[in-house]
Structure 1
């Protein structure tokens, strides 16, 4: 929280809601993040106005919500970006909300909310539709889902500037990965645009997004660990499928940024703020203070970072990347995981058992097993997966956390993106552990959303990729121990959706469903076996 604000903020938690109930006042929730430039600006202007601070003190219970530390609050009260300014009842129901607000805008909102509160009281609040009717339409998981997203990726592609979108441009790394295997040219053109416009060639790392279709306009220059990790993986995937050195070099530069600027000593920090620093010439940056780094170690973001670095290290024989992935994974296991339950970060107000943490830590662990062959990662993955299965609802979807907490937290969500990541990790674990129950749980989670796929667009193409893995069975390569020539060759098979299973064997075997290839004793033999194991060639055997 900035020193500029004059508002007497309460922390998000039961005390603030209890105070509002006792006082008969609505709450003002200010959702912000340490990396958010607009949040700082609103603190310096709107919340530094003494009259507004006085009005808030008299008529409201003002609560500052760190959206990185409280992801479930973020998902329920987000007004489309940060800052989000939300007025709600003591029961957590939303009266009204907006994003950034000027002093005049907030003053007008305060007056309107006071009138509404005086007239209706707690009845003025509403529950968002996603929480009133959270069940997604279920359906069968079929090959048609992948085909739908192939069409969407082509139809929604910006042929002039690359990427997907007609206004702001986001990098959409999961969509890039889907396309890398199925529409390589469009994936490559998007990687080229992201590398040209969003990559910081001086300090390394990626900015968040561009406000214009042509990747220009105002760049949102914050650097978040999870978004950078996802782009490391996307560029590594691009390199795997194309052999283009520029993609490897961009991923390598981002790994360098993560392991230097965001490295806390034993894991990765959550984010680095944006700001004018990034618009300076390199010579000016040398003497300038870089934007603040939030050194909180978040389980979900470190899980994604480990997944990306394990994969990049395996594709390129970059031992440094693998070593940092191991160190971050070990830190998370030592301090944030107990009996398979994952805690969001190391702090008194940290939540445990959240879907996003559990799914992404599992992604990191399954990548670690494939890259290193370490049994400790496989044992931990089983424990974390069993905790994940405890979040699965009767309809098959994974809930975003326990149905408890203040505000609207007692109403669980079924987030598509987190369900996709959970299913992806479970499909990997099913192959690594040889346990069908993980595959069944993944398919059930995907099926919970399958009735809605005809209305889904290219931005969620990752769902189509994981559905394809469930339909066709992922390509599995059983290899000798990690580090051997056949193990390294398995990672270079041009299918980033495969599973590599190192073990105590002398030859490699390629598996898809019930099909098992003849043994391969050389890397060339292995590549030939993998080429023969296309889904259309082995389905039905």
Structure 2
């Protein structure tokens, strides 16, 4: 990482890692060695401000707090201020996020957390400045602490068995909001992976949630989905549009169409494809996000004369992997060429600019980190889906190279760390994020079958990553249903369909088999074979015969 300042045209910025952003009066350092060295040399605490380009509240805090001359002066007198773009520094985000953005965090010169909050107005910020000064004067570095998640306790290793899926089926039913749909008693997040889990095992609750998302979080004018709603009844949506969340919902609506054939799900997916390939297309790949704001509360005719919110054009490896996966799934179900074409262009751009010898960079800039779990896991998912849909060997070769690099992130018990254990502050502390481990395990399972090594190394890595969390499975709630889905794929083995080359009638029929957790393996053969738990079906010569083979395969179901 570099400490060079961003060139944003601001006056008065220093050339040693400090920059003024968003018109604030605080001279911010970029994340890196320089500010922490300065804090240690001056024996001063660090003010860490995490923001995101899509975050309206971040802009509001910049205007109200960090543009106040007195408050900016107070910051400069006793603190070393660091501004971090949370999208560009995911490891910093995961260790210092206070539960939302902006996150305002005070740390010791070594990065240990003293206190923090999310949005603060001028009075609240003034009060926390005074409090931190007093604490620092009284305790110094002893005031810092290591968050529990980073204290590296023994992981909850356990056995991956059928009980994990059964427990989650119960959780999905018990936590469901029967009145408004979705899961949660306060804020409503769309929980795309929970929707997909339920589509296969609790279809009524899944479809009711898809309908609530359509009604409350879908932007029917400009396209795309808002991030979440503050209230249980889906009211007061936060209108930011993030590529990863839109990609996840695109996949969920494609899965909804796969299982039900409901035209409205297909139409919602198609509108989302239009949004991704227009507003969020930067010419080479998919942009990271679009900001929220009052623009989205305008009537359609008023929007025509208003400026749309800012789009952060940065192409992130992980988000493009997710987008490619979702677009390829839509194209496979609808025979539309555009989703597949854009997915391939995005994957090719990422492979050309962000991947070297299997190591993935987060985005294309000198300060970008490389070798992060979320980039490898999500790009791997996009590549394995590309193999299943296109049959192209180059995607399989790239998938193997990207997967092999995960070996460097494996912890002793088998889970994956979120990245290299290096950097400033808490970055040297290990973190094993559940969601990224699940995504890695799912993609590795796909790769195991695509390489013809269903019981090989990739399957073992997936099993180890899942078992590292299995000891806590009985305490998991509906929001992490994707973990249970991955465990079920491993325990029962996914439905595998070996087909003739991509584009054949049997291959297209296999992609449309109503099981979004299946693996389709196109190859040089004339018939299709269904494989489940090591048992191979008789060859199928027509799509109708393939349907019969799938129907007779042993597919465990808890519904």
Distance 2:42 2:298 in 1: 49
Determine if the alignment matches structure 1 residue 85 to structure 2 residue 104: yes
Query: Residues 46-445 of structure 1: matches in 2 within 5 Å?
Result: 46-216=65-235, 218-435=236-453, 436-445=456-465
| 1:134–1:413 Cα contact (<8 Å) kept | no
| 2:152–2:430 Cα contact (<8 Å) kept | no
* 1:169-217 CA distance string (max 9 Å, x none): 000000000000001111000000000000000000000000110111x
* 1:364-387 CA distance string (max 9 Å, x none): 000000000000000000000100
Partner of 1:144, secondary structure, is helix
| 1:134–1:414 Cα contact (<8 Å) kept | no
* 1:297-316 CA distance string (max 9 Å, x none): 10000010011111111111
Partner of 1:535, secondary structure, is coil
**Structure 2 spans left out of the alignment, 5+ residues:** 1-19
Distance 1:15 1:107 in 2: 26
Partner of 1:85, secondary structure, is strand
2:530 to 510, 519, 535: 510
Distance 1:525 1:270 in 2: 43
User: How much does 1:513 deviate?
Assistant: 2.1
88-97 vs 114-123, which moves further: 114-123
Distance 2:50 2:528 in 1: 52
User: How much does 1:535 deviate?
Assistant: 3.0
Aligned to 2:8: none
Distance 1:522 1:348 in 2: 52
Aligned to 1:476: 496
| 1:399–1:415 Cα contact (<8 Å) kept | yes
Distance 1:87 1:297 in 2: 30
* 1:275-321 CA distance string (max 9 Å, x none): 00000011111111100000001000001001111111111112110
User: How much does 1:329 deviate?
Assistant: 0.2
| 1:479–1:508 Cα contact (<8 Å) kept | yes
* 1:436-467 CA distance string (max 9 Å, x none): 21111101100000000010000000000000
User: How much does 1:2 deviate?
Assistant: 4.8
User: How much does 1:134 deviate?
Assistant: 4.3
User: How much does 1:536 deviate?
Assistant: 4.4
Determine if the alignment matches structure 1 residue 446 to structure 2 residue 466: yes
Distance 2:204 2:135 in 1: 54
Distance 1:41 1:136 in 2: 40
Deviating 4+ runs (over 3 angstroms): 1-4
Distance 1:336 1:423 in 2: 22
User: How much does 1:235 deviate?
Assistant: 0.3
Distance 2:396 2:326 in 1: 17
Shift in alpha-carbon separation, 1:135–1:399, aligned structure 2, 3 A: farther
Distance 2:530 2:462 in 1: 22
| 1:241–1:495 Cα contact (<8 Å) kept | yes
Shift in alpha-carbon separation, 1:327–1:135, aligned structure 2, 3 A: farther
User: How much does 1:123 deviate?
Assistant: 1.2
2:61 to 42, 50, 64: 42
239-248 vs 526-535, which moves further: 526-535
What is the TM-score with the length of structure 2 in the denominator? Answer: 0.95
User: How much does 1:164 deviate?
Assistant: 0.3
User: How much does 1:389 deviate?
Assistant: 2.4
Distance 1:358 1:196 in 2: 34
| 1:19–1:61 Cα contact (<8 Å) kept | yes
User: How much does 1:135 deviate?
Assistant: 3.7
Distance 1:332 1:456 in 2: 34
What is the TM-score with the length of structure 1 in the denominator? Answer: 0.98
* 1:382-422 CA distance string (max 9 Å, x none): 00010012211110100000111001000110000000000
User: How much does 1:3 deviate?
Assistant: 3.3
